[in-house]
Amino acid sequence: MNRELYKTEKSSIIILASQERRSRPGRMAGIADRRARVVVFPLPFQGHISPMLQLAGALHARGLDVTVLHTAFNAPDPARHPAFSFVAVPDVIPANVPSNGIAKILALNAVMEASGHVRDALASLLEEDEERPRLACLFIDSTLTAAQKAAAGLGLPTLVLHTGSAACFRLFRSYDMLQDKGYLPATESNLHLPIKELPPLQVRDLFDPSKLPNKEIGQKILNLATETTTNSSGAIINTFEDLESHELEMIRFELGSNGIPAFAVGPLHKLSSTYSGETSLLNEDRTCIEWLNTQAPYSVLYVSFGSVVHVTQEEFMEIAWGLANCGKPFLWVLRLGLIAGVEKTELPEGFESAVQGRGMVIEWAPQQEVLAHSAVGGFWTHSGWNSTLESVHEGVPMLSRPLFGDQLPNGRYVQDTWKIGFLLEGVLERGMIGRAITRLTEESEGAMVRERAKDLKEKAQLCLKSNGSSQMAVDKLVDHILSL
């Protein structure tokens, strides 16, 4: 029997059982009572939209109706998700907000709170409609405090999706401790100090709000996830038990005293085998797959720094010549806007002839398919959490070049805890890039890393089987939703 079908049937049984248990006084009995509807509201950035829609896909596969609430900014395309309903909120991020993600998130919350549009949208979704199942809860991105406040005002429970790792979840909740114990603000002399309360992290792996031009903004962003989680009916984390068992145990211990359950349901991009919604906001250049088909197994280094980070013009030149000089085949995603302050990227003179037949440069890749391709033997990444999990799932070893926020702890875990990659630290320089690529893909040290990446791939695949930890966590999550 098809697994998702089995899951759906099994969930239906759970649904009936929990509905019988719950049976709110005054609610009308009928077909609508046997099912439930959820609303999901992702933060409108690529690394947050994808996991939220993937979670929604898994819930839909278990029989729940899904409505996606979204902003006009980076709106998902409803035609790509025919199973979901879509409701747009007209709020926009003001044009004068600095283009960094932190300022945009805070501005979006402020605008949504002031306009009341989210509240109005939720109120109309909550109106009883006998044809539709009852609305059980709102899933929000962990940063969307305004949406949570709107839901709370209407008596609608929220569940919070954490699109980062469990380690990062714990880290962001530990900033008072980090400041009290003097780890932060970071100084030149304590950068290599291990944080004994949060191994394997060191001070240099911390996002330090005091280093931002506006410290308060940095501090505020850290508090958002703690605030939404504390006020929620549950935390959903895009990770899996075998990857972060200790971190998950600590989170459950910390949240348990407040009666908040935590569900580890990752890797979300592989959770539902029936949901095939296309979540990419940019057009994927699929010619790279044809090119990969012509390359030898494990020979290609895939290079991508995600959807938001920037590099300087100098770093760009070193990356280009590092790749050109390393002698290995590579596929490089040179996203529009990757170089800070440069609209139209020009490859350096002589680069194309130097890499002819060996290198391919594209603007946006079908990344999950690339990482799953047999020709790919390594991933030079900025260590965004989605990229990291996608690489873990395919057993691809990583060269980690984290730039800010949660990328820093992710890179540290890749190197020191899971030992499935190496950190690329210090000022980028072409010679050092070449040596790091050789170390990862050829040397004996790299062979151990490649072996461990394969072992972890097996664990990632096991947690997704029908009796695997992540599938069982979604079963429990559905049961929990229906009990709300």
Q: Residues interacting with ligand UDP, by CB under 6 A?
A: 46-47, 50, 280, 304, 306-309, 333, 364-365, 367-368, 384-387, 390
What is the closest distance, in whole angstroms, from the C-beta atom of residue 146 to ligand UDP in the complex?
21
Residue 86 main-chain phi, psi, to 5 deg: -125, 140
What is the closest distance, in whole angstroms, from the C-beta atom of residue 70 to ligand UDP in the complex?
17
What is the closest distance, in whole angstroms, from the C-beta atom of residue 316 to ligand UDP in the complex?
16
Q: CA 84, CA 86: separation in Å to the nearest integer?
A: 6
What is the closest distance, in whole angstroms, from the C-beta atom of residue 287 to ligand UDP in the complex?
13
Q: Is the CB of 364 or the CB of 422 nearer to ligand UDP?
A: 364
Q: CA 454, CA 419: separation in Å to the nearest integer?
A: 11
Mapping DSSP onto H, E and C, the string for 288-317 reads HHHHHHCCCCCCEEEEECCCCCCECHHHHH
Residues 20-42 as b/e (b if ≥16 CB within 10 A, e otherwise) read: eeeeeeeeeeeebbbbbbbbbbb
Q: For the chain, give the number of residues.
A: 484
What is the closest distance, in whole angstroms, from the C-beta atom of residue 365 to ligand UDP in the complex?
4
Q: CA 195, CA 177: separation in Å to the nearest integer?
A: 11
Q: Is the CB of 45 or the CB of 183 nearer to ligand UDP?
A: 45
Q: CA 252, CA 235: separation in Å to the nearest integer?
A: 10
User: What three-state secondary structure class fits 419?
Assistant: coil
Nearest to 40 by CA among 156, 153, 170: 156
Place of tokens 């210090």: 426
Q: Is 67 left (phi over 0), alpha (psi -120 to 50) or beta?
A: beta
Q: In what order do the strands lie in the sheet with 158-162?
A: 85-89, 65-71, 36-41, 134-141, 158-162, 235-237, 262-264
Q: Is the CB of 364 or the CB of 418 nearer to ligand UDP?
A: 364
Q: Is the CB of 8 or the CB of 280 nearer to ligand UDP?
A: 280
Q: Is the CB of 280 or the CB of 470 nearer to ligand UDP?
A: 280
Q: Is the CB of 31 or the CB of 282 nearer to ligand UDP?
A: 282
What is the closest distance, in whole angstroms, from the C-beta atom of residue 382 to ligand UDP in the complex?
6
What is the closest distance, in whole angstroms, from the C-beta atom of residue 102 to ligand UDP in the complex?
13
Q: Is the CB of 74 or the CB of 483 nearer to ligand UDP?
A: 74
